[in-house]
């Protein structure tokens, strides 16, 4: 529910300064309907006082119709438990100030919290947030300068956990995922069994605070996983979080069970099944009553759970089809149709570092428009529709290639491939001879496996062997620098022998003076799916990025915005630099029409800076990147 203060014209104050119109709007607030009996408007009246001037507030600017960015800002703010967030919506000349109040004001507010709690499949978003926040309020103002209008909303959000507490949850969840081997277990049924067993054995019901609604920790994953006690919301959010961490879709269902209650659904194969870990907790010796049950038992035969109307609506049931009968186990996950064969796995280094998986597919798989390959095991899960595969014909044999871009630090990660039909059932997957069945386990392959194979192969060229070794060294240095599964790893003389003199030719060149209002420029590089080069600019108060023009190699270039936890950051980016062109220089400029500042740099400029000024691990990353570039250039040319 949303409320605003009682002002008949919707305006708290109006100021005119020449052609400039400034309108302050009354406070508006929303109480999470789940906790409408716990929170009152008084809390928001207190929290929103001078919210925009708080030192811990973060400020973003966004176009009013850029829903994707607005959603990202809302989710980022709520995931990171930002208590105060200032968002300026640029309405330009699309509406007057009065129209902005009538048409956009309520929409902007409701969209912000709706996006913030929308189910996305990301473990710490969606229902995980929805069940662990109390509500939000906003104090707002509209500024009209000529025909340009902007709306600024200063949001204040009430959470049941702090950022520090969520950091503890993140660490414990990461350890638990490893402990339960959730990324190593092939069957979704077995993953869910492991999750459910752990919750039921390690979380007790919080009877102590059952009637104390002021103790809001009882509603949280933090209480369940840190304190070991929680009420149903804590059980349900923990189950939801762990399911999504394991790559299994889940939702939280609310309803009546002789009082308000929460439980879960989780997907296996074609259907979702019902679970209530709260009621099964501490019953492990007697077996479970409410684990992966169908709706016939859960809602009819047992009859102790009545879902709220939201979860029986046509929209919800169309998205989340709940099985009527109980889940019978792993056989629910295997498709009766189709057959795929793993033909080959390899790696390529032109541009990105990519793992290539080549499959042979029968007609039944190809006829399924929604069949897909799922990659897991790296820093991200990657889903590719079969119909989007790259087709290659080799000696008359049609092979379907599915690719996974590898980040350098993932050098030793086993990337797992499985193939699913449109009902999320696993399609039969074997080797060519049919002697090895990978249907449930999937096919594992790593960049380290490929590089080692190239080093050991008698048919590999010397250039290929050098590139394989340089890739291993670069991946090792990245693992150490990013502290990513780096235990026991070290770099050798091949890396440490590189000197600053070797990289001196890549020193950046900076010509001119920074235009007025620009106080700082910072060079950085990103080593993710693509190698990218960025120049960040910092602006004085009163100066904005759009007051300047920017170019890359003489061509006009838009500035980019990073909506981070510390607010907006602005930069120019050269994206997708191939591995054999890391030494290529680019000219980037910023100008106010009077003064132009030119920056001539390459990705290896960052490597040189790392060797010159960085700590040991960063130095070694820069040195290893340089050796990787030399090997790629020798193999592919420049």
CA–CA distance from 411 to each of 65, 378, 451, 484, 630 (Å)?
40, 9, 9, 10, 19
User: What's the average model confidence in pLDDT over 18-36?
Assistant: 83
All structural domains of the chain with their residue ranges: 2-158, 164-328, 340-446, 501-636
Contact 423, 267 (CB under 8 A): no
- Among 106, 124, 121, 112, residue whose Cα is nearest residue 69: 112
pLDDT at 35: 79
DSSP 8-state code for residue 322? B
User: To the nearest whole percent, how much of the chain has pLDDT over 90?
Assistant: 72
- If you search the block for the tokens 């008359």, which residue do you land on? 396
Q: Tokens 């103790």 belong to which residue?
A: 215
Q: What is the pTM of this model?
A: 0.77
Instruction: List pLDDT tens digits, range 342-394.
Output: 999 999 987 688 999 999 999 999 999 999 999 988 777 889 999 999 999 99
As a whole number, mean pLDDT of residues 286-311 equals: 93
pLDDT tens digits for range 111-162: 999 999 999 999 999 999 999 999 999 999 999 988 899 999 999 999 999 9
Q: How confident is the model at residue 6 (pLDDT cuts 50, 70, 90)?
A: very low
H helix intervals, 162-231: 163-179, 188-202, 221-222
Highest mean pLDDT (candidates 333-337, 403-407, 430-434): 430-434
Closest CA to 240 of 228, 229, 250: 250
The predicted structure's pLDDT at residue 114? 94
The answer to whether 340-446 and 501-636 have equal CATH topology is yes
Domain 340-446 sits in CATH at: 2.60.40
Q: What is the mean pLDDT of residues 448-462?
A: 96
Q: Which residues contact 185 (CB under 8 A, 6 or more apart)?
A: 191, 194, 246
The two tokens of residue 185 are: 């277990």
SS3 344: strand
Q: What is the mean pLDDT of the chain?
A: 90
The band of 94, judged by pLDDT with boundaries at 50, 70 and 90, is very high
Query: How confident is the model at residue 172, as a pLDDT?
Result: 96
Q: How far is CA 174 from CA 167, 188, 241, 481, 588, in A?
A: 11, 18, 11, 20, 40
pLDDT score at 2: 40
Q: What is the pLDDT of residues 300-338, one digit of tens each?
A: 999 999 999 999 999 999 999 999 999 988 877 889 899
Confidence check: pLDDT of 234 > 50: yes
Mean pLDDT of 274-299: 90
Q: How far apart are CA 554 and CA 557, in angstroms?
A: 9
Q: What is the mean pLDDT of residues 623-627?
A: 96
Q: Which of 1, 83, 4 is nearest to 37 (CA)?
A: 1
Dig out the tokens for 161 from the structure. 């956990």
Domain 164-328: CATH architecture, name and number where available: Roll (3.10)
Q: Which pLDDT does position 15 carry in this prediction? A: 59
Please tell me the predicted confidence (pLDDT) of residue 39: 64
Mean predicted confidence (pLDDT) in 564-576 = 83
> Looking at domain 501-636, which CATH architecture does it have?
Sandwich (2.60)
The pLDDT-based confidence of 46 (bands split at 50, 70, 90) is low
């Amino acid at each position: 529910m949303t409320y605003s203060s009682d002002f008949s014209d919707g305006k708290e104050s109006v100021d005119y300064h020449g052609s400039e119109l400034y309108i302050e709007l009354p406070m508006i607030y929303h109480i999470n309907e789940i906790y409408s009996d716990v929170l009152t408007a008084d809390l928001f009246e207190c929290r929103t006082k001078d919210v925009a001037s708080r030192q811990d507030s973060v400020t973003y600017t966004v176009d009013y119709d850029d829903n994707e960015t607005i959603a990202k800002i809302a989710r980022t703010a709520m995931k990171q438990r930002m208590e105060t967030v200032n968002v300026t919506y640029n309405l330009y000349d699309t509406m007057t100030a009065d129209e902005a109040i009538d048409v956009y004001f309520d929409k902007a507010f409701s969209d912000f919290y709706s996006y913030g709690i929308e189910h996305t499949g990301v473990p710490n978003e969606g229902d995980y947030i929805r069940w662990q926040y109390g509500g939000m309020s906003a104090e707002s103002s509209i500024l009209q300068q000529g025909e340009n209008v902007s709306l600024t909303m200063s949001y204040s959000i009430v959470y049941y956990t702090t950022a520090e507490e969520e950091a503890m949850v993140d660490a414990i969840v990461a350890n638990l995922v490893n402990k339960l081997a959730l990324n190593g277990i092939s069957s979704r049924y077995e993953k869910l069994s492991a999750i459910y067993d752990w919750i039921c054995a390690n979380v007790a019901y919080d009877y102590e605070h059952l009637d104390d609604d002021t103790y809001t920790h009882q509603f949280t994953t933090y209480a369940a996983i840190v304190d070991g006690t929680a009420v149903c919301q804590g059980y349900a959010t923990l189950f939801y979080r762990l399911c999504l961490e394991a790559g299994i879709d889940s939702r939280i269902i609310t309803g009546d069970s002789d009082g308000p209650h929460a439980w879960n659904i989780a997907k296996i194969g074609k259907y979702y099944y019902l679970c209530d870990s709260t009621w099964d907790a501490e019953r492990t010796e007697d077996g479970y009553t409410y684990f992966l049950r169908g709706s016939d038992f859960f809602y009819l035969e047992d009859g102790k759970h009545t879902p709220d109307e939201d979860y029986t609506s046509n929209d919800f049931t169309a998205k989340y089809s709940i099985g009527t009968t109980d889940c019978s186990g792993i056989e629910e996950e295997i498709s009766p149709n189709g057959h795929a064969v793993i033909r080959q796995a390899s790696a390529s280094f032109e541009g990105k570092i990519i793992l290539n998986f080549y499959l042979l597919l029968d007609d039944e798989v190809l006829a399924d428009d929604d069949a897909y390959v799922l990659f897991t095991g790296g820093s991200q899960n990657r889903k590719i529709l079969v119909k989007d595969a790259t087709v290659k014909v080799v000696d008359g044999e049609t092979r379907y290639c599915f690719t996974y871009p590898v980040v350098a630090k993932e050098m030793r990660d086993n990337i797992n491939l499985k193939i699913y039909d449109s009902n999320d059932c696993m399609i039969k997957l074997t080797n060519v001879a049919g002697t090895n069945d990978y249907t449930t386990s999937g096919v594992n392959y790593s960049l380290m496996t490929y590089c080692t194979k190239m080093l050991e192969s008698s048919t590999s060229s010397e250039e290929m062997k050098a590139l394989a070794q340089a890739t291993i060294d670069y991946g090792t240095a990245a693992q150490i620098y990013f502290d990513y599964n780096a235990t026991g790893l070290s770099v050798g003389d091949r890396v440490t022998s590189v000197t600053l003199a070797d990289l001196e030719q890549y020193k950046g060149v900076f010509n001119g003076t920074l235009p007025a209002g620009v106080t700082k420029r910072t060079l950085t590089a990103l080593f993710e799916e693509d190698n990218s080069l960025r120049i960040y600019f910092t602006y004085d108060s009163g100066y904005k990025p759009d007051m300047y023009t920017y170019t890359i190699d003489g061509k006009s270039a838009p500035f980019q915005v990073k909506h981070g936890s510390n607010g907006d950051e602005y930069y120019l980016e050269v994206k997708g630099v191939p591995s054999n062109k890391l030494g290529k220089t680019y000219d980037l400029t910023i100008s106010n029409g009077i003064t132009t500042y030119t920056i001539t740099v390459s990705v290896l400029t960052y490597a040189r800076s790392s060797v010159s000024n960085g700590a040991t691990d960063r130095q070694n990353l820069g040195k290893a990147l340089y050796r990787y570039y030399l090997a790629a250039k020798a193999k592919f040319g420049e």
